[in-house]
């Protein structure tokens, strides 16, 4: 049976507000992960339910994502649709004793979902690892800078 769900968790030695601020600033993802080459926000204002984004990734066609769930400071879910496929990606941040745990996941559904998941499965694994590693490195670097305080990230 084809795997249709991919997930990775990473522990980051930085407070959850910092990890969240980096994760929610989707336009800047290309700065810290090689898995995303370009992001275009298609909706004005802060990330919110209904926000739309176009993401360009190496080796994949551009994808349009729409935020379907948002829990500020803790996570968001967005969905990309194509004929016969629905892809759901979740991004969550939780506090742990050493800082934050971020979980990234992607799930394929629909008539062609399993086929697409099989086609891009290894790429998904690689991209999730790049995102987790890049996010950890970027947040760790930012947490060491003096313009971060415990109350919030001052980007």
Condensed to tens digits (0 to 9), the pLDDT of residues 4-62 reads 999 999 999 999 999 999 999 999 999 999 999 999 999 999 999 999 999 999 999 99
DSSP 146: T
Provide DSSP, 12-61. Answer: ESS-HHHHHHHHH-GGGGGGT-TT-SEEEE-S-SSS-TT-EEEEE-TTS-
CA distance 40 to 49: 16
| 8 Å CB contact between 105 and 124 | no
Pairing mode of beta strands 85-96, 52-56:
unpaired
Q: Is residue 76 part of a domain?
A: yes
Q: Is residue 23 part of a domain?
A: yes
Number of domains in the chain: 1
> Above 80 in pLDDT, residue 151?
no
Range name among 78-87, 91-100, 114-123 with the lowest pLDDT average: 114-123
Q: Is residue 93 part of a domain?
A: yes
Provide the CATH number for the domain around residue 24. 3.30.530.20
Q: Is residue 94 part of a domain?
A: yes
**What per-residue confidence (pLDDT) applies to 96?**
98
Quote the domain boundaries for residue 141: 5-145
């Amino acid at each position: 049976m084809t795997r249709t769900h991919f997930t990775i968790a990473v522990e980051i030695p930085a407070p959850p507000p910092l990890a969240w601020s980096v994760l929610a600033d989707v336009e800047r993802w290309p700065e810290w992960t090689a898995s995303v080459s370009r992001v275009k926000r298609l909706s004005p204002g802060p990330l919110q339910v209904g926000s739309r984004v176009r993401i360009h990734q190496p080796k994949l066609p551009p994808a349009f994502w729409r935020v379907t769930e948002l829990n500020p400071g803790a996570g968001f879910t967005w969905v990309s649709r194509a004929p016969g496929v629905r892809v759901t990606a979740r991004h969550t941040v939780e506090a742990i004793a050493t800082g934050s745990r971020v979980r990234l996941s992607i799930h394929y559904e629909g008539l062609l979902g399993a086929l697409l998941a099989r086609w891009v499965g290894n790429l998904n694994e690689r991209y999730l690892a790049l995102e987790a590693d890049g996010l950890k490195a970027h947040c760790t670097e930012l947490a060491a800078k003096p313009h971060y305080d415990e109350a919030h990230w001052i980007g």
